Amino acid sequence: MEAWKTRYFPVLAEFVRTGGNDFRKETEELRRELNGTSQDEVLKHHEESVRFLFSFADPEDRMTLVHRSLLFLTELLIALRMPEHAAAEEAPRSEPVFSAALNAAPIMEETQPNKFETVLQHMDSGVALFDEAGNLRFLNVQMSKFLQAPRRSLIGCTLRQLLFHPHLDRTTRRFFLQMLKEMRQYRRFHGEFQDTAGRILLVGISQSEELEGDFLVSVKDVSEYKQIEQAAFQNDKLAMLGKIAAAIAHEIRNPLTSIRGFIQLLTPFLRDIGKQEYARIILSEIDRANDIIYEFLNSSKPSAPMKQTVLVGLLLKEMILLSESEAHMKGCELNCEIFDPYLTVAIDVKQVKQVLLNIIKNAMDAIHEVGDGRKGRIDVSARREGKFALISVRDNGKGMDRNTLGRLFDPFFTTKEEGTGLGLSVSYRIINNHGGTIHVDSQLNEGTEFMIYLPSTDGKE
């Protein structure tokens, strides 16, 4: 493609977007590149470019597009027909030039897009097309949503203009640069990107002969697929944990029981020689090992919950009573709000109590670890959400980063020095066995919210 044709489209698109601001400089540069080109050739290329812009413009923008493209071509043709010093002056438009420009304007009869164009525009994947010079020739509605910018402000942009586009946030801009770097090395790109809204986007760039050297960019939101994949991976890990637990836990527990008994027998002799502290330490460590094995066994139990129907409000009030003394000792204020006092769930009360107590205790620890003198607050609430009862536990503790959030329910993953890393993985399994889910939302240094969804039993929505 001739150099002036590569430059023509982005200059035209920029003029249509801005209405001609600072256009004279662009005209001069383009005019120099067009030197020696016939008017017919310019008109032909202009008509192709305008028709392309016109076919992907929103209906309400098409009249403006036609008017501005006509103005663009008229100015350009006048500049081409006049000497350079006269082109800078306000010269009247000659009739032949204006007629030629008018003839190159797109015909307005085809205002409705065909069904194939409609499918392309509204498919769930974002699609964009760049020419070899890096000018954006086309993007569909979904791509403009991903970029959070209207299509009319993007069509015709160069790579540089896109990179510094005001709608692009810093995270997207960094990923943009990463794509360009890989494209320069390998002439292709395929990777995942997490935007500021937390969505996981699968991005692919390819170049093929069928596209005459143009680059096709596709973007698809795969957040739901990733969640399903993560849930399956989590279940696999818990299943593996169960097999390990079933194989070795009892074999470890039996000798520990024997050791504990003999240490208790030796305690009087150790007391006589002033070494009773040794016995206390040994016994406490054996008890700690037994606690870990108990959690390990509990996490591997596939037993179905023994369900009974309970009022969610009463369950939470009982949790507050059980936790308020420890919360007071750690300087935390516990608040409970029940939005629907008649909301009921069918649960194994013992198991769900274990989950709630574990989450509330984690919230207390998160507040205690901040240590900046802030007043700790834990808000426990329950409300109906569709067919589910939503139990929320929110704290204003230290919060978590994305890496910690991603591994939160992994067995043996813990941020506590004396934690086992089994509490939340057990909680995840318990809620999953009840047909529910757990979601976590957290911001570093701001706090964390655990949202437990359990099927309600009253049939309301």
187-211 pLDDT, tens digit each: 777 888 777 677 788 888 887 666 6
CA distance 173 to 329: 47
Q: What is the pLDDT of residues 40-92, one digit of tens each?
A: 777 777 777 777 676 666 666 777 777 777 777 777 776 666 544 444 444 44
Same domain, 288 and 352: no
User: Which of residues 67, 91, 112 is at a domain's end?
Assistant: 112
Q: Does 192 share its domain with 203?
A: yes
CB 412 within 8 A of CB 370: no
Looking at the structure, tell me whether residues 98 and 148 fall in a common domain: no
Tokens 């169960």 identify what position? 242
461 located within any domain: no
* 260 and 317 together in one domain: no
Question: Which range scores top for mean pLDDT: 164-173, 246-255, 289-298?
Answer: 164-173
- Rounded CA gap, 42 and 34, in Å? 8
Look up the domain containing 451 and give its range. Answer: 308-455
Average pLDDT on 239-246 reads 67
Is residue 148 one of the residues assigned to a domain? yes
242 and 216 in a common domain: no
Q: Of 171, 199, 221, which marks where a domain is finished? A: 221
Same domain, 448 and 324: yes
What single letter denotes the amino acid at residue 179?
A: M
Q: Are residues 103 and 123 in the same domain?
A: no
Per DSSP, helices labelled H in 218-348 are 223-272, 276-300, 312-329
Residues 124 and 77 in one domain: no
Q: Does 304 have pLDDT greater than 70?
A: no
How far is residue 133's CA from residue 373's CA, in Å, rounded to a whole number? 58
Q: Are residues 5 and 18 in the same domain?
A: yes
Structural domain includes residue 286: yes
Q: What per-residue confidence (pLDDT) applies to 449?
A: 94
276-300 and 423-433 are packed helices; what angle lies between their axes, rounded to 10 degrees? 30
The answer to whether position 75 is within a domain reads yes
pLDDT higher for 242 or 200? 200
Cα-Cα end-to-end distance for the chain: 61
Q: Which of 251, 267, 300 is the C-terminal boundary of a domain?
A: 300
Measure the CA–CA gap between 193 and 200, rounded to whole angstroms: 6
Tally of domains in the chain: 4
119 and 106 within one domain = no
